[in-house]
């Protein structure tokens, strides 16, 4: 009886071993694929998180930019208002300077007029003083005449003294009027008062 060759009885066994080997390799590949899939998923998650963070940062930056733009606009408006106020203040100051110059010119003109009036007033006062001095001299002369007349007992002599006093008073009054009034044409001298009139 012929015994079967051992090598001929092992093909199935070899095939099974190869199948097991391939299965083991496939299992290893499957594990590697799972690991790679996990890594890819983690990468996707990380990328999504990074995208979310970037989006959030972008939103924050956009808000900050909008806030900065608003602040710049507000500051520009504030500066424009300040410039307008400064311009208005300069216009008001220029008007005040013009008014002050006009007042100064008016005050200078008034001072010149006052000086002229003072000169005229001084001249008038000098004329009044001269007239009063003349009246005083005339009054003294009349008083001396009265004193002289009082020493005499003759009525005619006393009347002449009173007449002299009257004439002196009239002359003093005329001098005062001429000194206090504008110059006028020379008046005709009044006739002397005769004694007994």
Q: pLDDT digit string (tens) for 173-188?
A: 787 777 666 655 555 5
In a domain, 25, yes or no: no
pLDDT at position 113 is: 83
Total structural domains within the chain: 1
Is residue 170 in some structural domain? yes
Whether 191 maps to a domain, the answer reads: no
Q: Identify whether 31 is part of a domain.
A: no
Q: Is residue 130 part of a domain?
A: yes
Asked whether residue 52 is assigned to any structural domain, the reply reads yes
pTM: predicted TM-score of the whole model, two decimal places: 0.37
Domain assignment of residue 195, yes or no: no
Report yes or no on 20 lying in a domain. Answer: no
Which range, 42-56, 151-165, 173-187, is most confident?
42-56
Whole-number pLDDT of residue 27: 85
Sequence-distant (≥ 6) Cβ neighbours of residue 165 within 8 angstroms: 139, 142, 143, 145, 146
Where in the sequence is the domain holding 80, given as residue range(s)?
A: 42-179
């Amino acid at each position: 009886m012929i015994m079967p060759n051992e090598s001929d009885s092992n093909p199935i066994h070899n095939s099974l071993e190869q199948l097991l080997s391939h299965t083991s390799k496939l299992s290893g590949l499957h594990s590697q694929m799972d690991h790679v899939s996990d890594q890819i998923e983690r990468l996707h998650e990380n990328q999504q998180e990074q995208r979310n963070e970037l989006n959030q940062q972008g939103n924050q930056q956009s808000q900050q930019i909008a806030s900065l733009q608003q602040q710049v606009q507000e500051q520009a408006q504030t500066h424009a208002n300040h410039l307008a106020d400064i311009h208005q203040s300069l216009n008001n100051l220029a008007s005040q300077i013009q008014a002050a110059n006009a007042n100064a010119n008016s005050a200078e003109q008034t001072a010149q007029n006052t000086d002229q009036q003072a000169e005229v007033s001084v001249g008038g006062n000098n004329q009044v003083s001269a007239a009063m001095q003349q009246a005083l001299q005339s009054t003294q002369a009349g008083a001396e005449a009265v004193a002289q007349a009082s020493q005499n007992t003759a009525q005619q002599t006393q009347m002449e003294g009173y007449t002299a006093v009257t004439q002196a008073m009239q002359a003093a009054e005329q001098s005062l009027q001429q000194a206090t009034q504008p110059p006028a044409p020379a008046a005709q001298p009044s006739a002397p008062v005769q004694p007994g009139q």
